[in-house]
């Protein structure tokens, strides 16, 4: 089960560690949408939204430092890519997993899988026993569709997010937070469906 998906900034390509991470999109899954503890369940909808935002911010911050560390360690020269370079951007993406301890910010331990694409982070938070290989494939596909159809490259932090489109992507590729095992034919028909929707 995936607990949440978020898109956030990880800092400009040229300046690795300055500034905060800004959450551009976040979506929680599950019957209680990541609210596991008794205390959380008694919250009003507004309080839940606020808490959800705080949790997303904690995850984004952790991933942001992981991305910065990974980039520092890899010592690769990052070049700023432009619209049209989506495939290359995905190929060159940094990736990793951050273990989030219980309470930081979810009540149970979780794994945050991330892809750092230029100045953006794409992150899936999974339960610890989740199939991480499948989760990574799903994260790559989600990221690919976001990059290709939502024109997210080359706009720095001004990236304009059409969140209803991401909602629609998630409902297909990650319905209710469930990772899908796709056979070839189903993957193809899903791909067509997404293309048709995104072309609207
Ligand atoms: C990702 O998309 C490709 C191409 O549609 C597909 O073959 C693959 O099964 C997908 N992977 C996952 C984990 O959804």
pLDDT value at 12 more than 70: no
In the prediction, which pLDDT does 19 show? Answer: 62
- 139, 141, 147, 175, best to mutate for ligand 1 pocket (most atoms within 8 Å of CB): 141
* CA 117/CA 10 separation, integer angstroms: 9
State the distance from the centre of ligand 1 to the C-alpha of 11, rounded, in angstroms.
Answer: 28
Span 59-104, pLDDT tens digits: 999 999 999 889 888 877 778 888 888 899 999 999 999 999 998 8
pLDDT digits (tens, 9 = 90+) for 120-145: 999 999 998 999 999 999 999 999 99
| Residue identifier of the C-alpha nearest atom 2 of ligand 1 | 141
pLDDT for 13 beyond 60: no
Averaged pLDDT, 154-168? 71
Q: What is the mean pLDDT of residues 154-160?
A: 56
What is the C-alpha to C-alpha distance for residues 153 and 83, in angstroms, rounded to an integer? 5
Look-up of token digits 């606020």: 50
All residues at 6 or more sequence positions from 136 whose CB lies less than 8 Å from its CB, including other chains: 95, 113
List, in order of start, the domains of the chain with CATH numbers.
2-198 (3.30.450.60)
At 63 the pLDDT is 95
* Burial (CB count within 10 angstroms: exposed 0-12, middle 13-18, buried 19+), residue 84: exposed
In the prediction, which pLDDT does 141 show?
Answer: 95
Neighbours of 79 (CB within 10 A): 12
Report the nearest atom of ligand 1 relative to the CA of 134: 13
The percent of residues in the chain predicted with pLDDT above 70, rounded, is: 86
Q: Give Cβ neighbours of residue 16 (< 8 Å, ≥ 6 apart).
A: 68, 71, 72
């Amino acid at each position: 089960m995936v607990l949440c998906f978020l898109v956030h900034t990880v800092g400009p390509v040229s300046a690795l560690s300055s500034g905060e991470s800004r959450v551009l999109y976040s979506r929680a899954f599950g019957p209680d949408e990541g609210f596991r503890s008794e205390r959380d369940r008694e919250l009003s909808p507004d309080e839940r939204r606020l808490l959800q935002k705080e949790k997303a911010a904690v995850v984004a911050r952790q991933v942001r430092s992981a991305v910065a560390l990974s980039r520092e360690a890899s010592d690769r020269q990052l070049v700023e890519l432009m619209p049209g370079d989506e495939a290359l951007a995905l190929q060159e993406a940094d990736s990793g997993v951050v273990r989030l301890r219980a309470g930081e910010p979810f009540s149970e331990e979780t794994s945050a899988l991330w892809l750092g694409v230029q100045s953006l982070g794409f992150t899936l938070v999974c339960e610890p026993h989740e199939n991480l290989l499948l989760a990574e494939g799903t994260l790559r596909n989600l990221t690919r569709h976001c990059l290709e159809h939502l024109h997210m490259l080359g706009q720095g932090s001004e990236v304009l997010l059409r969140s209803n489109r991401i909602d629609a992507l998630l409902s297909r590729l990650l319905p209710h937070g469930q990772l899908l095992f796709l056979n070839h034919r189903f993957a193809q028909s899903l791909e067509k469906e997404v293309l048709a929707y995104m072309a609207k």
